[in-house]
Amino acid sequence: MPTIQTLRTQIDSLNLRLLEVLSERAKLAEEIGELQTQIGTAHYDPVREAEMLDTLTQANSGPFTDATVKSLFKSIFQASMQLENESDKVKYLTSRQTHREDTVVYLGDVPIGSTHSPVLVAGPCSIESKEQMEAVAKFVAERGVKLLRGGAFKPRTDPYSFQGLGVEGLKLGREVCDRYDLKFISEIMDAADLDAFVEYADMLQIGARNMQNFTLLKAVGRSKKPVLLKRGLSATIEEWVMAAEYLLYEGNENVVLCERGIRTYEKYTRNTLDVSAVALAKLETHLPVLVDVTHSGGRQDLLIPLTKAGLAIGADGIMIEVHPNPAVALSDNKQQVDFETFDKYLEETGYHKKLSQKRHEVYGF
């Protein structure tokens, strides 16, 4: 009499053989699925399925009943079909399913993302003059800020308002960044300016109004320069992530997303900071995410709470506008903070420490 143990050992080895045969079958089914996709026919073929079940029940000599054999094989057919349908799905480069690890984007030696300390991007809305840039660069660099922002090409709602200094502005930004060991972030609006941006900037910002400018996305994607992709004014998270997909598809993996508030019915704020979008962008994609607290609230008195909210939900950094004399700024003069307010901001958000610590030392996660 065989013992239960010896019979179980035989079952174990049969299980492995079955698995081997099932896997071999699944691979063949996948190959058939690929051919079907190529010629555009459906994966499910009821006539073929009925034929296979007929052949199987005719060959069945027990102990399973025909119904049981049918049900077992139907499960196998279904599992194969699932595989075929899965491989039809586009593998998005931005997706965590394609790329599990957090992406870290480097601006020179400054890392953004994953376990690195949250960055702070500070600087004026617009680059206005050599004196302004000198003052702001010196001031923020002394406080440990490594990333300077400043717009040279400005997307203004009103065509009669200040449009930016153009390439001259980019040169001013580069000059002060080199002097104070800062990395320079500036918004590109037109693919025709790409060469100048590649020469003068360290990171190209694609603004909210250009998030779906696909020609620009493709051109910037081909450039491989780090990109800061703002969320469009009324863009869904999916549209935002798809815009990032364009950049990755073109070969640029150095993409940082930036939530900057979306348009809602609310009037107390300029936009509504969508904090869940920050968490979702980090769950769905592997890209770092920043929060722009200046444009999302549009209010100085919200800068600190929005910064805390952004960091608490997992943002990899914050963007804030600072200007030597906001009252006379040529754009966003109500929202930019002066130097004194910026110092208070650093103090109250704990950013002066965050700029020198590791993320887990700051948050414990």
Query: How far is residue 333 CA from its own chain's centroid?
Result: 29
Residue 93 vs 287, nearer CB to ligand PEP = 287
> Per CB under 6 A, does 270 bind ligand PEP?
no
DSSP string, 315-352: -SEEEEEB-S-GGG-SS-TTT-B-HHHHHHHHHHHTHH
Number of residues that bind Mn ion (CB under 5 A): 2
Residue 298, binding choice from Mn ion, ligand PEP, none, Cβ under 5 to 8 Å by partner class: none
Q: Is 260 in the site for ligand PEP (CB under 6 A)?
A: yes
Q: Are strands 119-123 and 147-149 parallel, antiparallel or unpaired?
A: parallel
Pair type for strands 317-321 and 203-206: unpaired
Find the shortest distance in angstroms from Cβ 230 to ligand PEP. Answer: 4
Q: For Mn ion, what does the binding mask look like between residues 303 and 332, x meaning CB under 5 A?
A: -----------------------------x
Q: What are phi and psi of 265, to 5 degrees?
A: -75, -10
Query: What's the closest the beta carbon of residue 159 comes to ligand PEP, in angstroms?
Result: 15
Query: According to CB under 6 A, which residues from 271 to 310 bind ligand PEP?
Result: 292, 295
Residue from 120, 170, 177, 208 touching ligand PEP (CB under 6 A): that is 208
State how far the Cα of 80 lies from the Cα of 33, in Å rounded to an integer. Answer: 9
Q: Quick one: 223 or 335, whose CB is closer to Mn ion?
A: 335
Query: Backbone phi, then psi, for 94, in 5-degree steps?
Result: -80, -15
Encoded tokens for 237 = 């998270």
The Cα–Cα gap between 97 and 101 comes to 10
Contact by Cβ (8 Å): 191, 219? yes
| Nearer CB in complex with ligand PEP: 103/331 | 331
Size of the site for ligand PEP (CB under 6 A): 11
Among 116, 183, 225, 230, binds ligand PEP (CB under 6 A): 230
- 128 makes contact, choosing from ligand PEP, Mn ion, none, with CB < 5 to 8 Å by partner type, with none
Axis-axis angle for helices 130-142, 339-349 (nearest 10): 30
Q: Cβ 318 to ligand PEP, closest distance in Å?
A: 13
- Pairing, β 105-107 against β 110-112: antiparallel
Among 29, 105, 122, 125, binds ligand PEP (CB under 6 A): 125
318 has which bridge partners? 120, 291
Q: Under the criterion CB under 5 A, does residue 125 sit at the interface with Mn ion?
A: yes
CA 4 to chain centroid, in Å, comes to 56
User: Residue 41 Cβ, how far from ligand PEP at the closest point, in Å?
Assistant: 46
CB nearer to Mn ion: give 245 or 292. 292
Q: Of 19-27, 120-128, 254-262, 273-281, which segment contacts Mn ion by CB under 5 A?
A: 120-128
Strands 317-321 and 105-107, how do they pair? Answer: unpaired
User: From the list ligand PEP, Mn ion, none, which binds 124 (C-beta under 5 to 8 Å, kind-based)?
Assistant: none
Nearer to Mn ion, 94 or 336 (CB): 336
Longest CA–CA separation in the chain, Å: 98
Q: Which two tokens stand for residue 116?
A: 């690195």
* 364, two tokens: 């414990």
Q: Does 111 bind ligand PEP (CB under 6 A)?
A: no
Binding positions for ligand PEP, rule: CB under 6 A: 125, 151, 155, 187, 207-209, 230, 260, 292, 295
Binding positions for Mn ion, rule: CB under 5 A: 125, 332
